[in-house]
Structure 1
């Protein structure tokens, strides 16, 4: 449970609070990366239509935020060639992958290639966004907020339309694709610990 921080006297909720103390030294980039290598993330591919054609990137930062309204968040690195097009888009498609989609995850995470060269692998929705065929699920979203966060941008998106090709039965493990310690993993009954 989160508790609210009381506002100082003569302050309003619209005024930013001044920091009361210095943050001190922070973790190095290497230490921070080492910390999160042990924290697995579900794998998704984000696509958008850019000024020079479709773009795609693989992300492990996608999370649901709210069911009503249906909101999700993810982050994109300033280092990705796809980031400018995604940041400039009004709508995007988030592909939620399982282990059968490993080829799509690898495709969208490989630098220096045309991720849309195989025209049999993808098409456009009637609204224009690029979508990969045969993935476990995808959701078309409207971007509603962008927040700079260090060398990344956190994006909040409102779900508009979805398709589930391979549903996960409640209580069953499915074949989720996760990224952990710089490698791809499949979750299934073999990985269940309870």
Structure 2
């Protein structure tokens, strides 16, 4: 799967002990009507039980240049340490990273087993986006889109 380029996101939720979050590239649009998306959580993730209990989460789409932020939320650091490294606000009941390229607030509809991961289905309730280019992950490394237009394919 390393030859499949993906966007990089930080999934966040709020639990009784405060915010939790993780970096993932396993996010996909599922439906446009109604707007649904799916997120795949490692079964060992400390964020998964928070999402399950909260019943809602946010997908924060990272922008080019946010590799350090992606690495922070991919680390085994405690949630408080992760969130100390980034400015964020709680909007629609979910932590939104202030400098994300876009964010989508979701109500959790379902969780399904998927091997060593759990597939979460979310109903998008709110979203916002800004300008810029996305952070990408391809062949084990972060990348940005090349400027200069689109391919003619």
Equivalent position SS for 2:93? coil
**Residue of structure 2 equivalent to 1:187:** 145
Distance 1:58 1:190 in 2: 28
Q: CA deviation at 1:110?
A: 1.8
Equivalent position SS for 1:74? strand
1:19-63: per-residue Cα shift (whole Å, max 9, x none)?
xxxxxxxxxxxxxxxxx1222211111000123210010111111
1:107-153: per-residue Cα shift (whole Å, max 9, x none)?
211222411124x611212x432111021110111011110111110
* Structure index of larger Rg: 1
Query: Which of structure 1's runs of 4+ aligned residues deviate more than 6 A?
Result: none
Unaligned regions of 5+ residues in structure 1, if any? 1-35, 167-173
**Residue of structure 1 equivalent to 2:16:** 51
Unaligned regions of 5+ residues in structure 2, if any? none
Between 1 and 2, higher relative CO (CA 8 Å, sep ≥ 6) is seen in 2
Q: Which has the higher strand share?
A: 2
1:69-120: per-residue Cα shift (whole Å, max 9, x none)?
01111100012222221222211111112204333322211222411124x6
Of the three residues 73, 76, 89, the one matched with 1:123 is 89
Instruction: Say what the alpha-carbon RMSD is for the aligned residues.
Output: 1.9
Q: How many residues align?
A: 150
- In the superposition, the TM-score normalised over structure 1's length comes to 0.70
Distance 1:89 1:188 in 2: 38
